[in-house]
């Protein structure tokens, strides 16, 4: 993806956790023109799981089905504004004291899951299980900060929710409200909202049930979940954790699939799926959890069509095999083709995602394998070699050759904490130390890199590259072109780089120690004070590279948990970036230029920079 790992707050992660070349220009045929009630949406990488809340499933592509099948308390629109979804429920602060901060979440009455089971606040409790580190330890499910992967392998551990929640959430007498207590007032508290999950289905799946059940059985299963949650029944929670972590990793969905896996409260329900091909979603007749669906020429079916090759996806749009194209790693040639297509609207703008490279220093927290490559640890040698590799990474060339033809204002990205071009961005990068990666010419930086490498490998040269590096990236045309530029330039600095190009398994592989360097993208799911913290904290859900620095952790925890002024936020982000730069862990490449192109016959498609970029307002779509 772009790896498109989404940096989602607990609210968004939990809400979707359980479903919840050149061409001649011709006329564009309309996909499914006979019915005009189906929209076929391009997906640029494989959908591998219905659960985007796990550490391995946490990708923007896995989140796309969840955006259609799950609705919670809030979402981002295309401005982007944070919209409170009062159709699902409301939230409010009910107590605010220095050491006692309480938020009440109330679920609107009358909602049902797609199987007819009522939705209430009990369905919010799974968010606590997958975000509260203390609960995981007390329930015997494993320490999310330990060396063994916890039973619920969640990407949401290690955040402000888990660090500051006190005890168990409290249910109201009618079970429609949930009150969560924290040990201090927290910034961006709205983003901590728990998302709904069909916990009755999880309980039934853990007990080995097949198919949809009666109302009585569903009610009993939900009661069992609540009891297991409250009493911290380790045995039963472990069974549910096994299902939650791997049970939604599917390769095929058809009539024989256990329908308990497919329960939805969004506008659509998954009906069919074949890994590497497509997913078919049909209207959920019981949907009331979000804005009303358009009733004039409505969309009845959405097909998510996986096409990983950009040229092939553009050809598919031209031929009418898809209706909506969306990509953050498009090529400049295909941009030109898209803009020339008749009956197609093409939108190009910077989004909330970015591309970067990461250097591994250790195994990811919770992984049992070890890393002993050239960048391992925090000694002078490892830091020097990391610095050399980053110096030799030809960022400006990559931007000039591959990105500027798509977005003329593109420039190398110098921090992951601020939006490129903002006043805060300019102030931060001026003082963070990142300027060493842009001073002088690339030839001068590469020569400096080679001089560093020669300290440890005296015979190293362009013709004798001796530092062996394994370089992992996604297998598509843009990433392959970038990879070739990196391989060629770093060779001049004495690095012998072996490319590892992956597709279906890429998002699993970045969590392992199979590579020294990885290149991918991250997509912001929200705008908050804590942006970027999960990437760099020792226990951060998006820290796959074993990075760890005690002083940095303290700064990042403050950004997550302290109510700060804009000046204080900027100061802490600068302090954090100085540490990151001094460790030579990572380097931004560029802000991803998002390209959306869609059939003009479809109304109300409004590409958004955050979250569910294309599907965020599916309820408005129509022909």
| H helix or E strand, kind and range, residue 579 | helix 566-583
CATH number of the domain within which 484 lies: 3.10.105.10
By C-alpha distance, which of 482, 468, 452, 457 is closest to 515?
468
Which residues are CB-neighbours of 569 under 8 A, at least 6 positions away? 529, 559
Under DSSP, is residue 340 helix (H, G, I), strand (E, B) or coil?
A: helix
Kindly state whether residues 386 and 517 are assigned to the same domain: yes
Q: How far apart are CA 371 and CA 112, in angstroms?
A: 48
> Is 194 part of a structural domain of the chain?
yes
| Contact criterion met (CB below 8 Å) for 283 and 265 | no
pTM score: 0.90
**What stretches of 29-173 show up as alpha helix (H) in DSSP?**
60-69, 126-129, 133-138, 160-164
Distance of CA 67 to the CA centre of its chain: 12
104 phi/psi in degrees, rounded to 5: -110, 130
Distance of CA 485 to the CA centre of its chain: 26
Kindly state whether residues 228 and 373 are assigned to the same domain: no
Mean pLDDT of the chain: 93
Token look-up 């609107």 returns 108
Domain boundary at 199, 215, 232, which?
A: 232
> Is 530 part of a structural domain of the chain?
yes
Q: Is 300 buried (19+), middle (13-18) or exposed (0-12) by CB count in 10 A? A: middle
Under DSSP, is residue 448 helix (H, G, I), strand (E, B) or coil?
A: helix
> What pLDDT is attached to residue 365?
87
Q: Which residues pair with 112 in a beta bridge?
A: 118
Please give the span between the terminal C-alpha atoms of the chain, in angstroms, as a whole number: 30
**Pairing state between β 82-84 and 301-306:** unpaired
Kindly state whether residues 357 and 493 are assigned to the same domain: yes
> Is 36 part of a structural domain of the chain?
no
Q: How far apart are CA 594 and CA 480, in angstroms?
A: 18
Residue 549's CB is within 10 A of a number of other CB atoms, namely: 19
> Is 264 part of a structural domain of the chain?
no
> What pLDDT is attached to residue 35?
57
Q: Which residues pair with 171 in a beta bridge?
A: 178
Write out the DSSP string of 475-525: -SHHHHHHHHHHHHHHHTTTEEEEEEEESTTHHHHTTSSS-SEEEEEEEE-
Question: What tokens does 606 get?
Answer: 């409004």
> Is 616 part of a structural domain of the chain?
no
| Contact criterion met (CB below 8 Å) for 330 and 595 | yes
Q: Rg of the chain over CA atoms, in angstroms?
A: 24
Q: How far apart are CA 253 and CA 182, in angstroms?
A: 41
Which residues are CB-neighbours of 442 under 8 A, at least 6 positions away? 394, 396, 397, 489
Kindly state whether residues 228 and 356 are assigned to the same domain: no
How is residue 622 annotated by DSSP?
A: B
**Pairing state between β 301-306 and 38-43:** parallel
| Contact criterion met (CB below 8 Å) for 61 and 47 | yes
Q: How far apart are CA 449 and CA 567, in angstroms?
A: 36
| Contact criterion met (CB below 8 Å) for 337 and 570 | no
Question: What tokens does 325 get?
Answer: 């194209």
| H helix or E strand, kind and range, residue 378 | none
Q: Which residues pair with 524 in a beta bridge?
A: 7
Question: What tokens does 450 get?
Answer: 């080679």
Token look-up 């007819």 returns 116
Give me the residues of the chain with pLDDT under 50, please: 1-34
Kindly state whether residues 138 and 10 are assigned to the same domain: yes
By C-alpha distance, which of 132, 122, 125 is closest to 166?
132
pLDDT digits (tens, 9 = 90+) for 403-432: 999 999 999 999 999 999 899 999 999 999
pLDDT digits (tens, 9 = 90+) for 274-292: 999 999 999 999 999 999 9
**What stretches of 160-268 show up as alpha helix (H) in DSSP?**
160-164, 199-206, 215-231, 234-242
pLDDT digits (tens, 9 = 90+) for 47-60: 999 999 999 999 99
Q: How far apart are CA 52 and CA 61, in angstroms?
A: 9
The number of folded domains in the chain is: 2
By C-alpha distance, which of 516, 515, 535, 512 is closest to 525?
535
Domain boundary at 199, 216, 232, which?
A: 232
CATH number of the domain within which 161 lies: 3.90.76.10
Domain boundary at 232, 262, 286, which?
A: 232
Give helix 477-491 / helix 442-454 axis angle, nearest 10°: 60
Kindly state whether residues 357 and 218 are assigned to the same domain: no
Q: How far apart are CA 216 and CA 210, in angstroms?
A: 16
> What pLDDT is attached to residue 610?
87
> Is 371 part of a structural domain of the chain?
yes
Q: Which domain holds residue 453?
A: 352-593
| Contact criterion met (CB below 8 Å) for 273 and 46 | no
Kindly state whether residues 358 and 227 are assigned to the same domain: no
Which residues are CB-neighbours of 409 under 8 A, at least 6 positions away? none
219 phi/psi in degrees, rounded to 5: -65, -40
> What pLDDT is attached to residue 217?
99
> What pLDDT is attached to residue 366?
81
> What pLDDT is attached to residue 352?
84
């Amino acid at each position: 993806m772009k790896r498109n790992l989404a940096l989602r707050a607990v609210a968004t992660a939990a809400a979707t956790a359980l479903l919840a070349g050149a061409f001649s220009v011709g006329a564009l045929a309309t996909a499914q023109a006979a019915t005009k009630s189906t929209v076929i949406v391009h997906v640029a990488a494989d959908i591998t799981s219905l659960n985007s809340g796990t550490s391995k499933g946490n990708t923007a592509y896995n989140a796309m089905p969840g955006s259609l099948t799950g609705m919670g308390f809030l979402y981002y629109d295309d401005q982007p504004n944070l919209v409170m979804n009062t159709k699902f429920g409301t939230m409010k602060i009910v107590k605010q004291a220095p050491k006692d901060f309480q938020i009440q979440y109330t679920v609107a009455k009358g909602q049902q899951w797609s199987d007819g089971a009522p939705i209430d606040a009990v369905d919010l409790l799974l968010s606590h299980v997958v975000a509260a580190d203390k609960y995981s330890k007390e329930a015997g499910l494993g320490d999310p900060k330990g060396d063994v992967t916890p039973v619920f392998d969640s990407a949401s551990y290690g955040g402000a929710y888990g660090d500051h929640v006190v005890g168990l959430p409290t249910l109201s007498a009618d079970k429609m409200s949930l009150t969560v207590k924290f040990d201090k007032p927290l910034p961006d508290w709205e983003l901590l909202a728990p998302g709904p999950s069909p916990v009755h289905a999880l309980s039934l799946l853990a007990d080995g049930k097949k198919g949809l059940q009666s109302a009585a059985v569903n009610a009993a299963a939900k009661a069992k979940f609540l009891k297991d949650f409250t009493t911290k029944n380790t045995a039963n929670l472990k069974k549910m954790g096994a299902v939650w972590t791997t049970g939604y990793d599917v390769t095929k969905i058809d009539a024989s699939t256990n329908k308990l896996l497919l329960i939805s409260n969004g506008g659509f329900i998954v009906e069919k799926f074949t890994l590497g091909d497509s997913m078919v979603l049909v209207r959920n007749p019981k949907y009331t959890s979000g804005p009303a669906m358009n009733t004039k020429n409505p969309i009845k079916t959405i097909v998510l069509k996986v096409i990983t090759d950009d040229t092939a996806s553009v050809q598919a749009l031209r031929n009418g095999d898809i209706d909506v194209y969306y990509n953050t790693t498009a090529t400049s040639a295909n941009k030109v083709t898209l803009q020339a297509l008749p009956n197609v609207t093409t939108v190009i703008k910077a989004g909330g995602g970015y591309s970067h490279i990461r250097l591994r220093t250790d195994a990811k927290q919770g992984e049992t394998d070890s890393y002993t490559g050239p960048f391992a640890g925090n000694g002078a040698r490892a830091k020097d070699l990391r610095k050399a590799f980053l110096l030799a990474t030809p960022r400006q060339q990559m931007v000039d050759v591959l990105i500027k033809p798509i977005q003329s204002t593109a420039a190398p990205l110098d921090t992951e904490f601020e939006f490129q071009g903002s006043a805060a961005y300019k102030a931060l990068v001026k003082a963070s130390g990142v300027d060493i990666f842009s001073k002088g010419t690339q030839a001068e930086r590469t020569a400096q890199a080679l001089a560093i490498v020669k300290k440890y490998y005296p015979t190293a040269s362009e013709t004798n590259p001796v530092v062996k590096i394994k370089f992992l990236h996604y297998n598509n045309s843009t990433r392959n072109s970038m990879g070739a530029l990196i391989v060629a330039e770093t060779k001049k600095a004495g690095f012998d780089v072996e490319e590892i190009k992956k597709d279906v398994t890429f998002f699993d592989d970045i969590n392992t120690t199979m590579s020294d360097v990885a290149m991918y993208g991250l997509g912001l799911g929200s705008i908050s004070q804590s942006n970027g913290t999960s990437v760099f904290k020792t226990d951060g859900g998006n820290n796959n590279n074993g990075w760890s620095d005690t002083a940095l952790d303290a700064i990042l925890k403050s950004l997550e948990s302290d109510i700060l002024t804009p000046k204080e936020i900027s100061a802490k982000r600068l302090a954090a970036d100085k540490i990151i730069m001094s460790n030579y862990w990572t380097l931004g490449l560029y802000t991803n230029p998002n390209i959306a192109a869609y059939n003009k016959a479809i109304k109300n498609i409004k590409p958004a920079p955050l979250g569910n970029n294309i599907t965020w307002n599916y309820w408005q779509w129509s022909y």
